[in-house]
Amino acid sequence: MADQNSDRETGSKLDPKYDSNGLITAVVTDDSSRDVLMVAHMNAEALKLTLDTGIVHFFSRSRQQLWKKGETSGNILEMTGVRIDCDQDALWITARPAGPACHTGATSCFYRKIQDGALEQAE
């Protein structure tokens, strides 16, 4: 186990640690503003499609199906780079968004800040 963990942390082999639902967390930041746009999940198929096409795909936990981000709205995310963390259970994707990343129409899903225990519009 120790060696397996060590390989995962230091090696050059892509070996994502999917959770019990077969998913890995993916953070997407804007390549230009560097804001965090959204946090979602990928299964192996979504990750493969993202890497193969350069267009970000997720797995929708609510709909339980592959989700090409922006397929309906047109607001796709064009991947510019992807990193994986030390224990390979999270991805950091940099992307060029074609439009608002959030389904609410906001540029980022993180449009509210926590201030004094309540939520306020973020700048």
Residues near a second copy, by CB under 8 A: 9-14, 25, 27, 29, 34, 36, 38-39, 51, 81-86, 90, 92, 102-104, 106, 109-114, 117-120, 122
The rounded Cα 114 to chain-centroid distance in angstroms is: 22
Q: Any binding-site annotation on 116? A: no
Dihedral sign, Cα of residue 61, residue 63, residue 69, residue 70: negative
Q: Any binding-site annotation on 15? A: no
The rounded Cα 107 to chain-centroid distance in angstroms is: 15
The nearest distance, CB 4 to a second copy, in angstroms, is 14
Which residue lies nearer to a second copy by CB, 27 or 66?
Answer: 27
The nearest distance, CB 66 to a second copy, in angstroms, is 19
d(CA 71, CA 99): 12
Which residue lies nearer to a second copy by CB, 15 or 71?
Answer: 15
Q: Any binding-site annotation on 89? A: yes
Phi-psi region of 35 (alpha: psi -120 to 50; beta: other; left: phi over 0): beta
- Amino acid identity, residue 50? T
DSSP-derived 3-state class of residue 1: coil
The nearest distance, CB 96 to a second copy, in angstroms, is 16
For the chain, what is the radius of gyration of the CA atoms? 16
The nearest distance, CB 78 to a second copy, in angstroms, is 16
- Binding site membership for Zn(2+): which residues? 86, 102, 109
- Binding site membership for Mg(2+): which residues? 85, 87, 89
